[in-house]
Amino acid sequence: MKRIIVLVSGGGTNLQALIDAEKRGDIRNGSISCVISSKEGVYALERAKNAGIPSRIVPRKNYSTSESYTDALLEVLIEEKADLIILAGFMTILGEKFIKAFENRIINVHPSLIPSFCGEGFYGLRVHEYALERGVKVSGATVHFVNEIADGGPIILQQPVDVLENDTPETLQRRIMEQAEWKILPKATELFCADKIKVKNNRVYIFE
């Protein structure tokens, strides 16, 4: 059974999707053992509490540099014996040291079809604002491993979602969450925990 640590910074709907998937038995080979938040008072912490999952807060604002924050976080994740780290709406860029320590063991969910609308500055609602400005007809979500390039790691799963003519950033965000993120994140999590994912030359191969 793999120990899954979920990193959050906000509402935590993706965390909820993971909790629900574990309860339903869709995640069978891993278990969420701890939730870590970069901010105090976020709703994701309530979700962890309601599910009886221990949580810890490592506030980004208490650290002046990305390096010192990375070191603090790294210590906590080693203490928690993390097998898999999931960034579920975690809004802090991680330092290279962290990524090296957990190579191909950190998963991120991004609300677009990478390589569109991704990289530095593309997060949360802003991703959907850019997609609507550009007038794309299809967007979606991507689950990928995290490497040293922002949103540039090996892609595990992607799910397209139609953009509607009357969409606002909020309606598009919600539809992408419902139809893509909340499905492919738990799916990728179980594939990882069941050792069904291999990475070679920056590409993911899935053995179902």
Select which of 47, 110, 183, 187 is catalytic: 110
Of the pair 174, 194, the CB lying nearest ligand GAR is at: 174
CA distance 34 to 50: 13
User: Minimum distance between the CB of residue 201 and ligand GAR, rounded to whole angstroms?
Assistant: 24
CB of 84 to ligand GAR, least distance (A): 17
Q: Which residues of the chain form contacts with ligand GAR (CB under 6 A)?
A: 10-14, 44, 88-89, 109-111, 123-124, 127, 177, 181
Three-state SS for the chain is CEEEEEEECCCCHHHHHHHHHHHHCCCCCEEEEEEEECCCCCHHHHHHHHCCCCEEECCHHHCCCHHHHHHHHHHHHHHCCCCEEEECCCCCCCCHHHHHHCCCCEEEEECCCCCCCCCCCCCCHHHHHHHHHHCCCEEEEEEEECCCCCCCCCEEEEEEEECCCCCCHHHHHHHHHHHHHHHHHHHHHHHHHCCCEEEECCEEEECC
Min dist CB 108 to ligand GAR, Å, is 6
Of 109 and 113, nearer to ligand GAR (C-beta) is 109
110 annotated active-site:
yes
Q: CB 177 → ligand GAR: shortest distance, Å? A: 6
What residues are labeled active site? Answer: 110
